[in-house]
Structure 1
Amino acid sequence: MTNAGIMYHNGQGADQDLFALLSDITHCTFITVPIARNDAFDMVERGEIDLFTSAHREPHRESFAWFIPYFEINFLLLVNADRLPNVADMEEFKLAGDATIARTTGGGYSSYFNYQLSELESLGRVQFYDDYAETVTALLNGQVDATLSVPQIYRLFFSKGEAPIPIRILDVSPAPPTTVSLMLGKQRFSASHAANWLRIIEELHLNGQLESLLARYVSTNEAAAMVGVSSR
């Protein structure tokens, strides 16, 4: 696992609780290995780790992994309000001179934001960090002018009062929520294994256990949105 706000942080979080529940259901023993997100996908491909949490499905990864959707997120644009007081969307950010944005190496942000970030990268305005939490730290430390994040990550910092600069939080994406998956390495898991995992996660959705688990860390409305209750 990698540090990802309320999903996993220093040995605790919703992902950790999920695997305790999955252990009870499957009678499997899960050994948690803290890693950098940038290393995770290569490690799954090489068979060094069997499973990775909070992963985004990308076509080039399907050759070595199965993806089991388990929640949805909406990425928001966080900007330094002092440096960028008038930016209201990504197009205005791209016009904001040499303003820089942080992104996670190997991390997905939805097709809309991935496209925007690729344009900014071609202009030399993207700074890369090992995980999503580090991108928020970079913004708060003034290393960049903006980042993309989700409440499940940035609220961990703000709840501790670590906001030395004023932050504007903007919902600027026209795209639907991004699906987040468990990533199962094909060196360990067969197609039938993946189908069984999908059945288990779907059952946790249907019986409300996944929503209840997430509600330990976010509001009930946020938990419902994360499991797509409002859209079912």
Structure 2
Amino acid sequence: MKIAHALGLLLASFALVTGAKAFPCPNKPVRLAFYQYGLLYFENASHAGQGIDKDVADELARRSGCKFQFSVQARARIWKDLESGWLDMTVSGIETPDRTQFAWFTPYLAMKNYLVLRADQAEKIHSANELLNSNLRFGVVRSFHHGSAQDAWVEKLRQENRVSESVDAKTTFLKLKTGLIDAMFSQPLVYRKYLDDLDMTGMAVALDLTPDEPELPHNLVLAKKSFSEAEASQWRGLVLEMRYDGTLRQIFRRYVSERETERLLSF
């Protein structure tokens, strides 16, 4: 039933997109903001943007024919600017009840968070209870959501003044490296890049504290102040095309293995 429903959405969206003479682009460039986050978005030696999110955004621009204006911002700022209407889009966002008040969401990849823990503390922590009952200091990126169970744990740690906030993931990993924090949540395609970039190989281990939880959908996010529901559905149609014609798979395979690609596509 789930597959049939998805295929039905695909066919409806495909007819909507291809049946028109041209994609209904806004009358000004689409303002889309990235945030630096592992293999999702990073800058190379020439300071050019790369990563899964950049490739997805480039493909959306190509398929729609719309002009885009890209920027890179802190994650907390992005959510505020989407709510105010200053931004039109962002990428790899997690849907929450409060965010649905001002944005539309379309999934295009799925990931789950693992506990990334300093190796010298690893023998102490094997479960969520051991984490919560320890005195370890925890790091988070401001405005990040990690999933229902993990967010509840973070809130408990926050009440105990054991949480250190940072503006981005790289800063949080630097705190882990220097011992300012002992642990954090992160996804494989994120923590692998930062552990390598920051020469932290062997300094941290990753644990799955929620083995029964599925991968969490990450979405293309459209501001409701910029797009109507019908317009958001047209962008959703482009994303569905990218999934079912294999384009998303091709993008993911540029950065991760086939096994990890299957996980990213499990939304």
Using the size of structure 1 for normalisation, the TM-score is 0.93
Contact 1:75 1:150 in 2 (8 A): yes
3-state SS of 1:157 partner: helix
Alignment of 1:145-184 (within 5 A): 145-160=182-197, 162-163=199-200, 166-173=203-210, 174-184=212-222
CA distance in 2, matches of 1:217, 1:189: 31
3-state SS of 2:254 partner: coil
Q: Structure 1 residue runs of 4+, over 4 Å off?
A: none
Displacement after TM superposition at 1:161 (Å): 5.8
CA distance in 2, matches of 1:23, 1:119: 42
CA distance in 2, matches of 1:59, 1:179: 14
CA distance in 2, matches of 1:44, 1:140: 33
Q: 1:109 aligns with which of 141, 146, 150?
A: 146
AA matched with 2:102: F
Using the size of structure 2 for normalisation, the TM-score is 0.82
Contact 2:35 2:73 in 1 (8 A): yes
Q: Deviations over 1:144-193 (max 9, x none)?
A: 00010011111112333611762121011132211101110011111011
When Rg is computed on C-alpha atoms for both structures, the one with the higher figure is 2
Q: Deviations over 1:32-73 (max 9, x none)?
A: 111001111111011111101111101011111101111100
**Pair 1:3 & 2:41 matched:** no
Contact 1:38 1:131 in 2 (8 A): no
Displacement after TM superposition at 1:136 (Å): 2.2
AA matched with 2:258: T
Counterpart in the other structure of 1:35: 73
AA matched with 1:200: L
Displacement after TM superposition at 1:133 (Å): 3.2
CA distance in 2, matches of 1:209, 1:116: 36
- Kindly report the root-mean-square deviation, in angstroms, between the aligned alpha carbons of the 2 structures: 1.5
Contact 2:108 2:239 in 1 (8 A): yes
How many residue pairs get aligned? The number is 228
**Pair 1:198 & 2:231 matched:** no
CA distance in 1, matches of 2:175, 2:67: 36
Contact 2:195 2:201 in 1 (8 A): no
AA matched with 2:263: A
- Gaps spanning 5+ residues in structure 2: where? 1-33, 44-48
Q: 2:250 aligns with which of 200, 212, 222?
A: 212
3-state SS of 1:28 partner: coil
CA distance in 2, matches of 1:124, 1:51: 34
Displacement after TM superposition at 1:221 (Å): 1.2
Question: Structure 1 residues 22 and 164 mapped into 2: Cα distance closer, same or farther (>3 Å)?
Answer: closer
Task: Give the share of equivalent positions with the same residue, in percent.
Answer: 26
AA matched with 1:193: E
CA distance in 2, matches of 1:165, 1:127: 23
Contact 2:215 2:263 in 1 (8 A): no
Counterpart in the other structure of 1:137: 174
